[in-house]
């Protein structure tokens, strides 16, 4: 397939991996922020191609994983109402709340539907004027334009039965939150390609300067990722800390101005709680006041929710890059994709699920390289 | 911190049937293992083959299988629920090494179903029977209230004869064996999904639904050393390979670059975030064969219209028992596990 096969070429991958091996002189810890990148790294076994000095840790970039438990419980409470058609992206369905997941609610008769686009949910509201359609609008900057468009369309069409439960999060404040604490291990970032397609590479400049950290923006194919790891190691080895765009076929410095304008028209920046991490100031979007008629939290008064997190789950440490999935005592035992204790085990973009799915239970090819150290 | 003794899992264990219980993944195996097997026992059932092989005396053996079909929409590109119901049961018999002979069909019809639609389905079933040289000899019809069924559900049961000397089993694979797939993977599942989700491509995506008995007969005749065959329906190729690895106590190693996948199917899977290894097929088989016979089996398969795109996709090794591993396109290594439930499309 054009524009894909070129970026999945085996010999080219080996060449880049060797180039990394030639220039690396000491251990470096690099974090990929985006869950899609985590998935690709593990799916293609890229970490098994890297020299042992380069350690990849996996960041908080899975929107499903970082959605707070209270919000998930609130979603479940709303989905339980008979008048509601509750719409969500597919991988949100198995995320455990305090009392089970959306799949369980569906089996109990709640009207829960998977949509591929938020605009499908808007159309559903148009076709079902006597039902309340609620769309679970989660995601990073990548999904924000489409979600903003849904609210904009619903307002334009006067669909009073369409609302969104918004739990949007933003990447730059999360990167700052990872770099701030003294126990941070991350020395360079693989930047989130899709987020930058919307927002541009410009807003990462100040992060690279303030924290003296290289940020290499990458795509999602094996060669994209290996190239960007090479770029990060090159910078680290010579002591540079710059924003480097290695996804130039999609990312411009100012991103996609029309999408950014739409986001700004519909959403405003707010403080947001991240599951496993805590509240990060100015790290999320909420609907602007003009859109309160389409704001689920405004329409449905849900009483205070008491949440129950698993006591053994270490997804917070995993999302901050302090620990890896197989360092969790519950990993692969009590906690599997079938019986997830935390959200990082549910979405295929979650680090725990990716490790479990693609064989990091016992490291396969890398065992021999890692053990002697 | 709670101790590991008190298991926190139980609150996520489901006490009702979920859609995932019908996915052919881990939830399905759990349902069979924890509910049906304890209830029914029986050694031919416990073998969990696609068809039970029964000794009926005088050296004759029967293969016996049943399958229920629910599909939305009931007419889809490349087939319909009737063709699916006939082919599915024929294929379960065929991959057991049997020659399918007789079928039964039971229809659960929803009040209001158009007779024209039912007629089309019946005609399509007869056509598939003719194609396979199988007779539909008995049947039953029930009607349920409008809203209590989804237009039509069909259950077919089939009987076949197992020629002397044939003994195929999912537990037969040995290190050194190779694995053949008879054609492109994921066609059926993606065709259904594309009509359900309204995804359009420049070329029409068609289901591969077809009776495999003539192909299996050709393969068994030309290559009697075949150890086992399976049709990778629900759960896809990955599901069957995992069953094989566990039942035969071997590691199955797949080479990603050798998987035959139609470009449209790949494109659809890329868009929806699905892995074609887990997508259903209805006219494909996997065969395990001793290494020395693999190339011959491949050339025999490719002579048959249903095996034109056959490929050798992996091998059996002794390594990590019970696991399926894959060498990725770029040379990295990973596991190919059984899915927990249904494949969930990713958010972005």
pLDDT value of residue B1: 29
Q: Which residue has the tokens 């229809």?
A: B107
β-strand pairing of B152-162 with A132-139: unpaired
pLDDT value of residue A56: 93
- Number of domains comprising chain B: 2
Q: Answer yes or no: is B42 within a domain.
A: no
Inter-chain residue contact B341 with A94, CB threshold 8 Å? yes
* Other CB atoms within 10 A of residue A309 CB: 15
Q: Answer yes or no: is B27 within a domain.
A: no
How confident is the model over A148-159, as a mean pLDDT? 97
3-state SS, chain B, equals CCCCCCCHHHHHCCCCCCHHHHCCCHHHHHHHHHHHHHHHCCHHHHCCCCCEEEECCCCCEEEEEEEEECCCCCEECCEEHHHHHHHHHHHHHHCCCCEEEEEEEEEEEECCCCHHHHHHHHHHHHHHHHHHCCEEEEEEEEEECCCCCCCEEEEEEEEEEECCCCCCCCCCCCCCCEEEECCCCCHHHHHHHHHHHCCCCCCCCCCCCCCCHHHHHHHHHHCCCCCEEECCCCCHHHHHHHHHHHHHCCEEEEEHHHCCCCHHHHHHHHHHCCCHHHCCCCCCCEEEECHHHHHHHHHHHHHCHHHCCCEEEEEEECCCCCCEEEECCCCCEEECCCCCCCCCCCCC
Identify the domain boundary among B109, B134, B162.
B162
Q: Which of B30-44, B223-237, B267-281 has the lowest mean pLDDT?
A: B30-44
Domain boundaries, chain A: 1-312, 315-359
Q: Which residue has the tokens 């050194």?
A: B176
Distance from the Cα of A212 to chain B's closest Cα (Å) equals: 30
Q: Is the pLDDT of residue A292 over 90?
A: yes
Q: Is the pLDDT of residue B268 over 80?
A: yes
Name the residue range of residue B75's domain.
50-162
Please name the member of A107, A194, A357 whose beta carbon is closest to the beta carbon of B348: A194
Select from B208, B327, B340, B201 the least CA-distant residue to B269.
Answer: B201
- Assign A260 to helix, strand or coil: helix
Chain A residues touching residue B344 (CB < 8 angstroms): 90-91, 93-94, 114, 348
Residues 7-36 of B with CB under 8 A from A: 7-9, 11-14, 16-20, 26-27
Q: Is the pLDDT of residue B138 over 80?
A: yes
Distance from the Cα of B252 to chain A's closest Cα (Å) equals: 14
pLDDT value of residue B68: 94
Q: Answer yes or no: is B2 within a domain.
A: no
Examine the domain organization and report whether B76 and B187 are in the same domain: no
pLDDT value of residue B344: 60
Examine the domain organization and report whether B78 and B202 are in the same domain: no
Q: Is the pLDDT of residue B146 over 50?
A: yes
Q: Answer yes or no: is B123 within a domain.
A: yes
Q: Answer yes or no: is B25 within a domain.
A: no
pLDDT value of residue A91: 79
Band of residue A237 on the pLDDT scale cut at 50, 70, 90: very high
Residues 239-298 of B with CB under 8 A from A: 257, 263, 266-267, 270, 272-273
Instruction: Tell me the range of A154-163, A312-321, B328-337 where mean pLDDT is highest.
Output: A154-163
Identify the domain boundary among B129, B162, B195.
B162
Examine the domain organization and report whether B150 and B94 are in the same domain: yes
Strands of A35-107, DSSP E: 54-61, 84-88
Helix A222-238 and helix A35-43, axial crossing angle in degrees, nearest 10: 110
Q: What is the predicted ipTM?
A: 0.73
- For domain A1-312, give the CATH number: 3.40.50.11740
The per-residue pLDDT for range B104-129, each reduced to its tens digit, is: 999 999 999 999 999 999 999 999 99
Inter-chain residue contact B330 with A10, CB threshold 8 Å? yes
pLDDT value of residue A365: 34
pLDDT value of residue B11: 32
Band of residue B13 on the pLDDT scale cut at 50, 70, 90: low
How confident is the model over A27-34, as a mean pLDDT? 95
Examine the domain organization and report whether B194 and B292 are in the same domain: yes
Please name the member of A1, A46, A339 whose beta carbon is closest to the beta carbon of B332: A46
Band of residue B248 on the pLDDT scale cut at 50, 70, 90: very high
Helix (H) or strand (E) holding A273: strand A267-274
Q: CATH no. for residue B226?
A: 3.90.650.10
Q: CATH no. for residue B82?
A: 3.30.1330.10
Examine the domain organization and report whether B185 and B319 are in the same domain: yes
Average pLDDT taken over every residue of chain A: 89
pLDDT value of residue B45: 78
Q: Answer yes or no: is B67 within a domain.
A: yes
Q: Which of A14-23, A88-97, A165-174, B208-217 has the lowest mean pLDDT?
A: A88-97
Identify the domain boundary among B114, B135, B162.
B162
Residues 59-88 of B with CB under 8 A from A: none
Examine residue B297 and say whether the peptide bond preceding it is cis (omega within 30 degrees of 0). Answer: no
Chain A residues touching residue B16 (CB < 8 angstroms): 104, 107-108
- CB B275, CB B235: distance < 8 Å: no
pLDDT value of residue A212: 97
> Residues A173-190, buried b or exposed e (16+ Cβ, 10 A)?
bbbbbbbeeeebebbbbb
How confident is the model over A342-369, as a mean pLDDT? 62
Examine the domain organization and report whether B156 and B204 are in the same domain: no
Q: Answer yes or no: is B17 within a domain.
A: no
pLDDT value of residue B10: 30
Instruction: Tell me the range of A9-18, A55-64, B55-64 where mean pLDDT is highest.
Output: A9-18
- Assign A209 to helix, strand or coil: helix
pLDDT value of residue B341: 64
Examine the domain organization and report whether B188 and B310 are in the same domain: yes
Inter-chain residue contact A99 with B11, CB threshold 8 Å? yes
């Amino acid at each position: 397939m054009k524009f894909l096969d070129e970026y999945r070429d085996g010999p080219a991958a080996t060449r880049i991996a060797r180039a990394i091996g030639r220039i690396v002189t000491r251990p470096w810890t690099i974090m990929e922020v985006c869950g899609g990148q985590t998935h690709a790294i593990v799916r293609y076994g890229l970490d098994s191609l890297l020299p042992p000095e380069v350690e990849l840790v996996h960041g908080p970039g899975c929107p499903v994983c970082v959605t707070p438990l209270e919000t998930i419980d609130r979603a479940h409470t709303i989905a339980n109402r008979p008048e509601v058609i509750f719409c969500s992206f597919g991988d949100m369905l198995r995320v455990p709340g305090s009392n089970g997941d959306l799949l369980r609610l569906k089996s109990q008769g709640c009207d829960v539907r998977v949509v591929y686009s938020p605009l499908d949910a808007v159309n559903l509201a148009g076709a079902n004027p006597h039902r309340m359609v609620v769309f679970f609008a989660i995601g990073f900057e990548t999904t924000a334009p489409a979600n903003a468009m849904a609210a904009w369309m619903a307002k334009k069409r006067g669909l009073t039965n369409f609302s969104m439960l918004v739990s949007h999060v933003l990447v730059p404040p999360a990167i700052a939150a990872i770099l701030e604490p003294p126990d941070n291990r991350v020395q360079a970032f693989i930047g989130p390609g899709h987020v930058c397609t919307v927002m541009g590479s410009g807003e990462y400049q100040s992060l690279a300067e303030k924290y003296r950290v290289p940020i290499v923006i990458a795509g999602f194919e094996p060669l994209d990722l290996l190239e960007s790891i090479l770029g990060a190691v090159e910078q680290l080895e010579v002591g540079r800390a710059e924003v480097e765009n290695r996804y130039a076929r999609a990312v411009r410095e100012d991103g996609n101005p029309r999408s950014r304008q739409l986001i700004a028209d519909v959403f405003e920046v707010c403080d947001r709680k991240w599951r496993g991490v805590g509240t990060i100031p100015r790290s999320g979007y909420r609907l602007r006041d003009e859109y309160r008629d389409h704001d689920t939290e405004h329409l449905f008064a849900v009483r205070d929710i008491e949440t129950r997190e698993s006591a053994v789950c270490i997804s917070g440490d995993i999302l901050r890059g302090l620990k890896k999935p197989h360092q969790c005592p519950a990993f692969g035992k009590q906690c599997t994709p079938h019986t997830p204790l935390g959200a990082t085990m549910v979405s295929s973009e979650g680090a725990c699920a990716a490790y479990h799915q693609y064989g990091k239970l016992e490291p396969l090819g890398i065992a021999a390289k890692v053990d002697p150290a | 911190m709670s101790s590991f003794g008190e298991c926190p899992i139980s609150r996520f264990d489901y006490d009702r049937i979920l859609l995932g219980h019908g996915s052919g993944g881990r939830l399905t195996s759990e349902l069979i293992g924890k509910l049906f097997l304890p209830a029914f026992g029986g050694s031919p059932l416990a073998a969990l083959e696609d068809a039970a092989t029964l000794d009926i005396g005088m050296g004759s053996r029967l293969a016996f299988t049943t399958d229920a079909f629910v599909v939305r929409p009931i007419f889809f590109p490349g087939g319909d629920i009737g063709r699916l119901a006939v082919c599915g049961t024929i294929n379960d018999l065929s991959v057991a090494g049997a020659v399918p002979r007789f079928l039964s069909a039971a229809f659960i019809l929803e009040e209001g179903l158009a007779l024209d639609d039912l007629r089309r389905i019946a005609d399509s079933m007869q056509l598939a029977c003719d194609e396979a040289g199988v007779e539909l000899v008995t049947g039953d019809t029930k009607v349920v209230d409008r809203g209590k069924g989804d237009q039509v559900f069909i259950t077919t049961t089939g009987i076949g004869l197992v020629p002397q000397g044939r003994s195929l089993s999912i537990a037969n694979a040995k290190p050194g064996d190779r694995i053949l797939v008879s054609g492109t993977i994921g066609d059926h599942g993606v065709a259904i999904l594309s009509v359900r989700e309204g995804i359009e491509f420049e070329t029409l995506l068609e289901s591969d639904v077809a009776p495999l008995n003539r192909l299996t007969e050709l393969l068994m005749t030309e290559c009697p050393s075949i150890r086992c065959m399976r049709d990778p329906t629900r759960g896809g190729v990955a599901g069957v390979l995992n069953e094989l690895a566990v039942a035969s106590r071997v590691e199955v190693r797949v080479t990603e670059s050798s998987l035959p996948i139609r470009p449209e199917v790949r494109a659809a899977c890329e868009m929806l975030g699905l892995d074609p290894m887990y997508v259903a097929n209805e006219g494909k088989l996997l065969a395990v064969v001793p290494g020395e016979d693999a190339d011959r089996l491949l050339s025999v398969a490719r002579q048959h219209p249903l095996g034109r795109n056959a490929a050798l996709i992996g091998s059996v090794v002794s390594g990590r028992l019970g696991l399926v591993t894959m060498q990725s396109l770029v040379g990295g290594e990973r596991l190919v596990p059984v899915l927990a439930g249904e494949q969930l499309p990713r958010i972005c």
